[in-house]
Amino acid sequence: MEIQKDLTLLLVDDEQEFRRAISTALGRRGFKVWEAGSGEEALDIIGQRCPDLVVLDLKMPGMGGIETLTRVRERDASLPVIILTGHGDVDSAMAGIRLSVVDFLQKPIDIEQLAARIRALLEHGEDRPLRERSIRELMVSPEHYPKLYDDQPVTEALAVLRKAFFQPVMEGVSSGQVRSALVYDRQNNFLGLVRFIDLLKLVLMPFLEDSPYTTYFTGMFLAQCKVVGKRHLRELLGENISVDADMPLMQAVHLMVNNYLINLPVMEGGKLVGILRERDVVLEIASNARSF
């Protein structure tokens, strides 16, 4: 399906052969393309006849892509701009986000990917600037998780977690995804999460971790299961690693990766307000990294 003929693109790149090849390819797909070989030339064109969208290379001699984009934003705060960038250029990517680009595409460019992205922007109005979603937007309500108290025995915690794991689908949480419980004291102060991995550690006898010459035999697991049931949940709780609701998402990712956490309590004013799950962060990565 071709786009409307009156929609125009400005392709800004100092490599003439690249510009011609991309312009020709996009022209065959129904786009009208203007070319600029430098940031200065791009600003001259925009000053005379504003395009519907700009495709801007970051790495250009003289006025580079970020400087050009800054000057473009001084003239037009809403003009959609797609940045062409090299692999791993994080600083420029962050600068582009601050300057309200609508997307990044890496060189060498896939012409079908570029055409599809432009089509989505111009035909379907997906021209909102890139924006990183917040922890608040990705977290789920603590109400989706069972509540336990630190003085309860492990047997009660196991029964509650087993029921939660197999319960029907709840809004916002898929069946089989509840692998944790919230732990409070009797004054309703949140103490932390108990996760499946904590229960696995419970049956792992200390000498198995401490000795490099451990011998394993059938029956060890069953015997340990029989003796841990009366222990209390407070014995399972380690450091309560959490993140503030207003912190950048990358801080939460860092905490989850460094501490091998499948989820992370989200706090505000000393109170638990949400749970950030690894599955939702991974889905957000997939959404942001998708190809068109």
Three-state secondary structure string covering 131-181: CCCCHHHHCECHHHCCEEECCCEHHHHHHHHHHHHHCCCECCECCCCCCEE
Q: What is the DSSP-derived secondary structure letter of residue 193?
A: E
**CB 92 within 8 Å of CB 65:** yes
The answer to whether residue 212 scores a pLDDT higher than 80 is no
- The label of the residue with tokens 């969208």 reads 53
Cα 19 to Cα 111: distance, rounded to the nearest angstrom: 12
pLDDT, tens digit, 9 for 90 and up, residues 228-260:
888 899 988 888 999 999 999 999 999 999 999
Q: What pLDDT sits at residue 3?
A: 45
> For the segment 133-175, what is each residue's pLDDT rounded down to a tens digit?
999 999 999 998 999 999 999 999 999 988 888 776 555 555 4
Cα Rg for the chain, rounded, in angstroms?
27
Which CATH number is correct for 136-289, 3.90.700.10, 3.20.10.10, 3.10.580.10, 3.40.50.800?
3.10.580.10
Pick the CATH number of 8-124 from 3.30.1490.20, 3.30.1860.10, 3.40.50.300, 3.40.50.2300: 3.40.50.2300
DSSP assignments along 96-134, one per residue? HHHTT-SEEEESSP-HHHHHHHHHHHHHH---PPP-PPP
Q: Compute the residue count for the chain.
A: 292
Domain locations in the chain? Answer: 8-124, 136-289
pLDDT of residue 292: 45
Give the separation between CA 118 and CA 124, rounded to whole angstroms.
10
Distance (Å, whole) CA 181 – CA 275 = 11
Would you tell me how many other CB atoms lie within 10 Å of the CB of residue 64? 18
| Cis peptide bond prior to 108, omega within 30° of 0 | yes
pTM metric for this prediction: 0.77
Q: How many angstroms separate the CA atoms of 208 and 227, rounded?
A: 16
126 or 91, which is more confident: 91
- pLDDT of 188 strictly over 70: yes
Q: Which amino acid is at 255?
A: L
Q: Are 260 and 124 in contact (CB under 8 A)?
A: no
* Beta strand pairing call for 271-277 and 263-268: antiparallel
Model confidence pLDDT, tens digit, residues 93-147: 777 777 778 888 888 888 988 888 888 887 766 667 778 899 999 999 999 899 9
Q: How far apart are CA 38 and CA 103, in angstroms?
A: 20
Nearest to 107 by CA among 24, 38, 31, 22: 22
